[in-house]
């Protein structure tokens, strides 16, 4: 008998596109969407060939897709292109030379603006510095930076000379950085002395020193001066960027890259505890990032696009750097924390800079909810015209808060589902077309043939929870796991053979809308029912006194697993036993008695990675009363973990 995921939460609110927005949208009718989507599925080579030819190829491609070596795809074979030239040269040497490319704000409050012409010069200089230090085509370069313009410049400089970048989030530990440097065979590291976070300097160079100790393959540590903190120095290996850049040319011709040449490695967590180096190549990735930025965000002339992710995550790669810049858009980068010096920092930035597109994570939205409605209400926010959500499923109540308090009930919300592995957005509303529903990522993007199947790979009928798969290759898909083709084949294609398995559960409703149920690893088995943690969390957060919730299972002799809820309450609420019982009954009412938590633990906050994702693995260990043996290097707040372990309620 095939296993399915019980579908227990229903959401019936609908929000059609506002007529004013729709009248100006890049795509504004259902018929236009269906026509483009059907072509992208039924005639993918024709569709993607036409889109790809909008980019400036150095040598035209001969074939759109070669799938003969499945699951190893080759897109736009024979073509040569350079990601840096796509993002810069066509704009800097044309009509957008004086248009803003990057608007940056540091946490202490200073600002910088780079036009496309200026960014082009900076990237050429940086590329020549890398060349002077012996970095060449085919090398891998680790980037471990704060959120400063030089982080994007470094990525584009690597791409310009044909060196692949491996960006490691600047909050990772020295151990985590070393793992990624060693696995990727990096020969150089680009870093900074430090960066600002929560009112303090976060030192980075000392972490790099520890990470590369004894790694003789690393011949260069290039250091950008940002925070002015004291750093140790290793002659010959270490070099100040500001000293080297004074002696290099402002001209650097882009290296012609084969469409399938490596553009970057990006490491994501593996179930074994060993990070996986996701491989993305040049041509297909660029096409996916380019097209999705246009249509998902309804990109227009004059937009200021703020994606709040760090460049250390795939969201930062695709929707800070490659997607917006390939389209000639203006992006905003912010260095610091969303609540420094106060809870209104994000909204203040939006008002001062006149941000039009705002793309952030559900975790951040729930944090803002907990801080109170009065904070965003102090700000105008009238420059915003579109909101986005990324990183994990957004629960309906957070969606509604985002719509009401930030979008002021006039901005469409694009709730996007995608992964490091997909390279670009895969399931999403299109804001001028889609009737949105809180909590649903709605429909597949162009070229994404998504389905919900049972554990035998058979399509499930509407409203049955199952496994989310993609049935056909798409341009921005990962090309493998670095150095481990067998792990790629088994991990992503082994379950169903000819279909990509995303690792997420989902259901598809009668309209064809997808509802992401979260990682299948997080599905609970309670008395024979397979329940999605996301749905129970959504039920809890729908209570007016709850800001955030995480659900895990603990072993139970009778039920198989018992439901344990970790809950953070909204500002001003004092948690007590009465609230604990009220929340249990609230879940039972919203979903059914089978989902009633056996235990609720209150906490001021929940343990998260530095990218904002709740670390349910750690919560499972806490709920079960066992020691955590896995990697905890990505946790944001170790003190919180200790506090949760000491809570015996």
Query: Which tens digit of pLDDT belongs to each residue from 498-557?
Result: 899 988 999 999 999 999 987 787 667 676 566 767 778 888 988 999 988 988 888 876
Write out pLDDT tens, residues 370-396. Answer: 899 999 999 999 999 999 999 888 888
Given a contact cutoff of 8 angstroms between Cβ atoms, the answer to whether 373 and 402 are in contact is no
The whole-number pLDDT of residue 518 equals 79
**% of residues, the chain, pLDDT over 70:** 92
- Residues of the chain by 3-state class (helix, strand, coil), percent to 5: 30, 25, 45
58: left (phi over 0), alpha (psi -120 to 50) or beta: alpha
Mapped to the 3 state alphabet, what secondary structure does 141-183 carry? EEEECCCCHHHHHHHHHHHHHCCEEEECCCCCCHHHHHHHHHH
Q: How confident is the model at residue 634 (pLDDT cuts 50, 70, 90)?
A: very low
Token couple for 385: 């015209």
The whole-number pLDDT of residue 610 equals 60
Q: Using the predicted structure, report yes or no on whether residue 19 has a pLDDT greater than 90.
A: yes
Neighbours of 179 (CB within 10 A): 20
Q: How confident is the model at residue 147 (pLDDT cuts 50, 70, 90)?
A: very high
The pLDDT of 128-140, averaged and rounded, is 98
Higher pLDDT, 84 or 607: 84
The whole-number pLDDT of residue 625 equals 81
CA 304, CA 357: separation in Å to the nearest integer?
6
User: What is the chain's mean pLDDT, rounded?
Assistant: 91
The bridge status of strand 450-453 relative to strand 443-444 is unpaired
CATH topology of domain 523-645: GMP Synthetase; Chain A, domain 3 (3.30.300)
Q: How confident is the model at residue 567 (pLDDT cuts 50, 70, 90)?
A: very high
CA 95, CA 331: separation in Å to the nearest integer?
17
Write out pLDDT tens, residues 613-624. Answer: 777 778 888 888
pTM of the model: 0.86
The whole-number pLDDT of residue 372 equals 92
Q: Using the predicted structure, report yes or no on whether residue 213 has a pLDDT greater than 80.
A: yes
CA 443, CA 422: separation in Å to the nearest integer?
15
How far is the CA of 314 from the CAs of 48, 144, 189, 193, 611, in angstroms?
22, 14, 19, 24, 11
Token couple for 366: 């729930």
Is the alpha carbon torsion for 237, 139, 611, 323 positive or negative?
A: positive
Give me the residue spans of the domains in the chain. 523-645
To the nearest 10 degrees (0 to 180), the angle between helices 616-624 and 638-645 is 20
Q: Using the predicted structure, report yes or no on whether residue 189 has a pLDDT greater than 50.
A: yes
CA 417, CA 442: separation in Å to the nearest integer?
9
Q: How confident is the model at residue 432 (pLDDT cuts 50, 70, 90)?
A: very high
Token couple for 624: 């079960």
The whole-number pLDDT of residue 12 equals 82
Q: Using the predicted structure, report yes or no on whether residue 648 has a pLDDT greater than 50.
A: no
Q: Quick one: which H or E segment has residue 351?
A: helix 345-353
> In 335-347, which positions are buried (b, 16+ CB within 10 angstroms) versus exposed (e)?
bbebbbeebbbbb
**% of residues, the chain, pLDDT over 90:** 77
From 341, 294, 286, 352, select the one nearest 317 (Cα to Cα): 286
The whole-number pLDDT of residue 2 equals 42
The whole-number pLDDT of residue 537 equals 86
Given a contact cutoff of 8 angstroms between Cβ atoms, the answer to whether 161 and 127 are in contact is yes
Given a contact cutoff of 8 angstroms between Cβ atoms, the answer to whether 148 and 155 are in contact is no
> In 418-431, which positions are buried (b, 16+ CB within 10 angstroms) versus exposed (e)?
bebbbbbbbbbbbb
For residue 359, give the 3-state DSSP assignment.
strand
The bridge status of strand 427-428 relative to strand 443-444 is antiparallel
The pLDDT of 287-315, averaged and rounded, is 97
Q: Using the predicted structure, report yes or no on whether residue 207 has a pLDDT greater than 70.
A: yes
Higher pLDDT, 86 or 1: 86
Q: Using the predicted structure, report yes or no on whether residue 483 has a pLDDT greater than 60.
A: yes
From 165, 324, 159, select the one nearest 256 (Cα to Cα): 159
Token couple for 498: 């000819």
């Amino acid at each position: 008998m095939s296993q399915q995921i019980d579908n227990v939460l229903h959401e019936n609110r609908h929000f059609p596109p506002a007529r004013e927005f729709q009248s100006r949208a890049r795509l504004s009718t259902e018929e236009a969407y269906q026509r483009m989507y059907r072509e992208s599925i039924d005639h993918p080579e024709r569709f993607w060939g036409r889109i790809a030819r909008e980019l400036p190829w150095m040598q035209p491609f001969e074939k759109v897709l070669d799938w003969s070596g499945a699951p190893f795809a080759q897109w736009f074979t024979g073509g040569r292109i350079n990601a840096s030239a796509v993002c810069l040269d066509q704009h800097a040497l044309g009509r957008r030379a004086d248009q803003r490319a990057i608007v940056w704000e540091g946490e202490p409050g200073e600002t910088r603006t780079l036009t496309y012409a200026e960014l082009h010069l900076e990237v050429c200089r940086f590329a020549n510095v890398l060349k002077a230090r012996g970095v060449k085509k085919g090398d891998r370069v680790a980037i471990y930076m704060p959120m400063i313009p030089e982080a994007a410049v470094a990525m584009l400089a690597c791409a310009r000379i044909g060196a692949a970048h491996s960006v490691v989030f600047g909050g990772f530990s020295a151990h985590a950085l070393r793992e990624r440097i060693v696995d990727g065979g990096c020969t150089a590291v680009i870093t900074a002395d430090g960066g600002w976070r929560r009112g303090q300097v976060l030192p980075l160079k000392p972490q790099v020193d520890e990470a590369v100790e004894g790694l003789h393959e690393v011949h260069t540590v290039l250091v950008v001066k940002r925070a002015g903190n004291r750093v140790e120095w290793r002659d010959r290996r270490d070099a100040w960027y500001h000293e080297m850049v004074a002696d290099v040319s402002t001209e650097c011709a882009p290296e012609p890259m084969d469409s399938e040449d490596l553009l970057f490695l990006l490491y994501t967590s593996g179930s074994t505890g060993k990070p996986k180096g996701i491989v993305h190549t040049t041509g297909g990735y660029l096409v996916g990032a380019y097209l999705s930025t246009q249509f998902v965000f309804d990109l227009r002339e004059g937009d200021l696009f703020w994606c709040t992710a760090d460049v250390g995550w795939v969201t930062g790669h695709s929707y800070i750097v490659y997607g917006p810049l390939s389209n000639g858009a203006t992006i905003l980068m912010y260095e610091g924390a969303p609540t420094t010096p106060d809870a209104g920092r994000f909204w203040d930035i939006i008002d001062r800079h006149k941000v039009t597109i705002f793309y952030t994570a559900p975790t951040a939205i729930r944090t803002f909810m907990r801080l109170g409605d009065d904070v965003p209400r102090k700000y105008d926010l009238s420059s915003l015209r579109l909101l986005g959500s990324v990183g994990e499923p957004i629960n309906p109540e957070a969606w509604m808060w985002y719509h009401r308090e930030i979008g002021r009930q006039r901005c469409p919300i694009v709730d996007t589902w995608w992964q490091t592995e997909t390279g670009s957005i895969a399931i999403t509303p299109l804001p001028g077309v889609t009737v949105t529903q809180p909590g649903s990522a709605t429909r597949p993007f162009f070229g994404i043939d998504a389905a919900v199947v049972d554990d035998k790979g058979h399509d499930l009928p509407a409203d049955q929870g199952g496994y989310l798969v993609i049935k056909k290759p798409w341009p921005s898909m990962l090309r493998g796991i670095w150095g481990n083709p067998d792990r790629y084949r088994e991990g992503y294609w082994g379950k169903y053979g000819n279909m990509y398995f995303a690792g997420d559960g989902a259901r598809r409703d009668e309209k064809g809308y997808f509802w992401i149920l979260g990682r299948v690893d997080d599905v609970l088995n309670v008395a024979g029912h397979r329940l999605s943690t996301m749905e129970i969390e959504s039920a809890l957060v729908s209570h007016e006194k709850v800001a955030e919730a995480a659900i895990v299972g603990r072993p139970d002799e009778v039920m198989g697993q018992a439901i344990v809820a970790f809950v953070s309450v909204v500002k001003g609420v004092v948690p007590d036993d009465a609230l604990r019982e009220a929340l249990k009954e609230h879940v039972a009412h919203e979903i059914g008695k089978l989902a009633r938590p056996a235990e609720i633990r209150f906490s001021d906050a929940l343990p998260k990675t530095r990218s904002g994702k709740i670390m349910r693995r750690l919560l499972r260990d806490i709920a079960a009363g066992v020691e955590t043996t896995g990697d905890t290097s990505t946790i944001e707040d170790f003190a919180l973990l200790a506090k949760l372990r000491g809570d015996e309620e």
